[in-house]
Structure 1
Amino acid sequence: MTTTDRTVPDVFSPGRIGPLTLRNRTIKAATYEGLSHQGRVTRDLVDFHVRHAAGGVGMTTVAYCAVSPEGRTDRHQVLWTPESLPGLQKLTAAVHAEGAAASAQIGHAGPVANPKGNGAPALSPSRHFHKTTLSFAKEATRDDLRRIVQDHARAARMAIEAGFDAVEVHLGHNYLASSFLSPKINHRTDSYGGSLENRARFAREIMTAVREAVDGRIAIIAKMNMDDGVPGGFWLDEAIAVTRWLESDGTVDALEMTAGSSLSNPMYLFKGDAPLEAFADVMPQPIKLGVKLVGNKVLREYPYRDGYLLEDARQIRAAVKLPMILLGGITNREIMDRAMAGGFEFVAMARALLREPDLVNRIEADAGVRSLCNHNNRCMPTNFTGTRCVLVDRSTTRSETWGTDAGYVS
């Protein structure tokens, strides 16, 4: 798709993803908020998304909502259980009251999961040692995979019941589906390993199950790696093939391309500073010491520029006709317009909105507005205590769980 094939949309015009029409083409990207408690919604989590909805985005994404108990990276992450539904319903209603849509990011963390917090072993395509948890992830069995596929379908059905307008299926960052795609992690010799077609089988089964569960009632977005950022990992040429398969399967309404490995190279996605001291401060021993001594081997620094994923994402754009969401360094009207001119239908913003939740409204009012985010990435370690920009004062609030129809409970 080129600008000669289509009318270039205004980023502040309505945009359509499957059955969903957004008031504009900006999306609050999924960033784990660290504001849920024991798998349930808190007042702080609702307020977090209401701020972004009131700030002008067309849709805000709740992250990360685990489909299985062992698939969490933090024991407090939202888990799709009947007990979580009342709080999620209150969250979506509050977002809708501000005129925005709400998306739920669903997935299974696989080898990135925290086995100690979850009280269950992490799962991986093949046995894998996780440096952060200092433990081995066990090889997922066929029964595990069948169960997890159905867990995704169940989560999608519950998302509809909770009032979400879309689900974003996490196929990136070496979470479980992504780890199957990666030849560096997936050493299986069965029908889920070896060739790219085999390594993509699990992701395609998940997307098929979600499509059947949703049945056109809400939009389906796939967030998928373009590359892992590590030698021997999943790479762009393979990503092009997989996105074409997803398109031909008819299981996806839009694609959001990402990059990097939460296991091996997390900063590859974010660009900018690598705040080693800030990461070390929130880690338990002996991991804290390890981060200080050798953290620069994993937390590498990459130079930041606006729209830093645009060039690679353009190669996916040229290969498929699905609507696409550009992620990575969306901070001003200029890069938004470049995305629209380059064939992207939507843009997703994360760090810039942590700094200024009302940035979208301000850019719409004045095209010359520039983000105040300086890409120091010290927001990243805050997801253990409530994701925020450290340059913004945060008043002390009591977080309560929205757990019953009667209202808040402690």
Structure 2
Amino acid sequence: MTSDPFAPAALGPVRLRNRTVKAATFEGRTPEGQVTDELIEYHAVVGRGGVGLTTVAYLAVAPEGRTHREQIVVGEHSLAGLRRLTDAVHGTGAAIAGQVGHAGPVANGRSNGVKAIGASRMPSPLSMQMIRSATEADLTRVTRAYVAAARLLVRAGFDVLELHMAHSYLISSFLAPGLNRRKDSWGGSLENRARLGRQVARAVRDEVGSEVAVTAKVSLSDGFKGGVTTDEGLAYAQLLEADGCLDALQLSGGSSLMNPMYLFRGGTPVAEFARSMPLVVRAGMRTPVGRSFLKAYPFEEAYFREKALRFRSSLSMPLMLLGGINRRDTMEQAMADGFEFVAMGRALLREPDLVDRLAAGRADAGVCIHCNRCMPTIYSGTRCPVVAEAAGSGC
């Protein structure tokens, strides 16, 4: 194991120029559900900035699997644009991952024009509709959709497929006992609740073989009562490791549906979020319940490290450490701890060339202030408002 985060590394069959990963954060640059020049530049700029692997979010496997309508559904209609995107990133020397997923209960059924599905029936705070409980036919269809999306993304030139199994998206909603109240073979025990994720991972691996790397984003803890706990998250990761279908796990946390700030930490941009939402949701955010949705968690460097070390000590497969990584010494500590990769999000949004400057010794740390005002910008083109204000372009 190297202590150098900037040394080359193998991720399954893929060779990366270093061990840094641009984590998937929705870019807000696909207004028609198609790749745009702006999306291509968003990823090319971090590629030119030295990152080893950049991750495209969010690539839905089905129309009802989008969080809202302005997202790409993987299909023949999106192939040409995705090919342009991968070619551009490869031209920078970086590799490219596609985050493949189904949003499940996090989907906005009203925006998508088709009702969301989840493990169990529940009201949606996003669409003010009822989320319906997925049927056996739905789960068969969705699994096949993952396979079809995986095959198309290989054709499009992606190096890595990241299966989204966290944040209360569909697979994660089955894992969380508070969201999965089923009495059939998909609910109850962890083994039952883990069936969908394991089924999808196996089906995708069987389809793509060793053509690309296959990874998964999993939860260290969902951060809400009834969510996946650290003990359950670890047990699930051990099942995935035993199945042997994945090349690495990216360790995340929080719930886009129940507790998003558990993932982000730092500033809580309530006013900015409210301004970006539709009127009905905006009104709800002004209520005590709405305000409690964006809980406050102080930022600290590498805030998931303690929980992630439990995973590292119990698993042998490659792991990606995520969560507030901004400093070179943090990255080096991650390597010393036995993590194979480090994933960064806000730090690279603020400074797309941060990896190059850290590697060259021109910087010891990023300058992101973790105000999280970037979060609401996903609806209008994800960006750092601090940089935009300094450039005189506002937000």
TM-score, normalization: structure 2?
A: 0.97
**What whole-Å deviation, never above 9, does each CA across 1:146-192 have from its counterpart, x for those lacking one?**
01011111111111000000000000000000000000000001100
Letter in 2 for 1:296: R
- Moved beyond 3 Å, runs of 4+: 394-397
Contact 1:29–1:348 (Cα < 8 Å) also in 2: yes
Q: Which residue of 2 aligns with 1:264?
A: 258
- Displacement after TM superposition at 1:117 (Å): 1.5
Show the 5 A alignment for 1:84-233: 84-233=78-227
What amino acid does structure 2 have at the position aligned with 1:189?
Answer: K
Is structure 2 residue 332 aligned with structure 1 residue 337? yes
1:277-304: CA deviations, max 9, x gaps? 0000011112112213333211001010
- Give the superposed CA RMSD: 1.4
Instruction: Report the CA distance between 1:145 and its aligned residue.
Output: 0.2
Partner of 2:249: 255
Question: 1:69 & 1:168 partners in 2: Cα distance?
Answer: 19
Matches within 5 A, 1:286-365: 286-294=280-288, 295-365=290-360
Deviation at 1:318, TM superposition (A): 1.0
| Native 8 Å contact 2:22 2:53 kept in 1 | yes
CA distance in 2, matches of 1:87, 1:288: 34
DSSP 3-state at the match of 1:347:
strand
CA distance in 2, matches of 1:130, 1:117: 12
Q: Does 1:246 align with 2:243?
A: no
Contact 1:29 1:61 in 2 (8 A): yes
Quote the offset at 1:118 in angstroms. 1.2
> How far 1:369 sits from its partner (Å)?
2.5
User: When the two structures are aligned, how many residues end up with a matched partner?
Assistant: 391
Is the contact made by 1:326 and 1:347 (CA closer than 8 Å) also made in structure 2?
A: yes
Which whole-Å deviations, capped at 9, do the CAs of 1:223-242 have from their partners, x for residues lacking one? 01111101122101111111
- Matched to 2:316, the amino acid is K
Q: Is the 8 A contact 1:124 1:139 kept in 2?
A: yes
State whether residues 68 and 109 of structure 2, in contact with CA within 8 Å, keep that contact through their aligned partners in structure 1: no
Shift of 1:116: 1.1
**Structure 1: which 5+ residue stretches go unaligned?**
1-6, 398-410
Is contact 2:110–2:129 with CA below 8 Å preserved after alignment? no
Q: Report the 3-state secondary structure (helix = DSSP H, G, I; strand = E; otherwise coil) of the residue aligned with 1:286.
A: helix
Q: Which amino acid aligns with 1:317?
A: R
Match of 2:374 in 1: 379
Report the counterpart of residue 83 of structure 1 in structure 2: 77
Alignment-mate amino acid for residue 351 of structure 1: R
Are the counterparts in 2 of residues 276 and 292 from structure 1 also a CA contact under 8 Å? no
Once the two structures are overlaid, the 10-residue window that deviates more, 57-66 or 366-375, is 366-375
Offset, 1:197: 0.3
d(CA) in 2 for partners of 1:44, 1:368: 28
Equivalent residue letter for 2:327: N
Give the C-alpha shift of residue 19 in structure 1.
0.3
Moved more, 286-295 or 179-188: 286-295
Give the match for residue 2 of structure 2: 8
Of the candidates 273, 279, 288, which is equivalent to residue 279 of structure 1? 273
Partner Cα separation in structure 2 for residue 178 and residue 392 of structure 1: 34
Q: CA deviation at 1:366?
A: 1.2
Q: Secondary structure at the match of 1:392?
A: helix
- The Cα of 1:8 is off from its aligned counterpart by 3.4
What is the rounded CA distance, in whole Å, between the counterparts of 1:321 and 1:370 in structure 2?
A: 30
Q: Tell me, what secondary structure is at the counterpart of 1:265?
A: coil
- What is the Cα deviation at residue 9 of structure 1? 3.3
Q: Which residue of 2 aligns with 1:38?
A: 32
**Distance apart, 1:393 and its partner CA:** 2.4
2:65 aligned partner: 71
Report the identity percentage.
49
Q: What do residues 101-160 of structure 1 show as CA deviations (whole Å, max 9, x unaligned)?
A: 000000000000010121111001110112232221000000000010111111111110
Report the residue type matching 1:254 in the other structure: A
Per-residue deviation, residues 35-81 of structure 1 (Å, max 9, x unmatched): 01322100000000000100110010000000011000121211111
The equivalent of 1:402 in structure 2 is none
* Gap change, CA 1:396 and 1:130, over 3 Å in 2: farther
Measured in 1, the distance between the counterparts of 2:291 and 2:256 equals 14
CA distance in structure 1 between the partners assigned to 2:123 and 2:219 by the alignment: 21
Residues 86 and 134 (structure 1), Cα distance of their counterparts in 2 relative to 1, 3 Å cut: same
Amino acid at match of 1:105: Q
C-alpha distance in structure 1 between counterparts of 2:280 and 2:236, whole Å:
39
Which ranges in structure 2 are unaligned for 5 or more consecutive residues? none
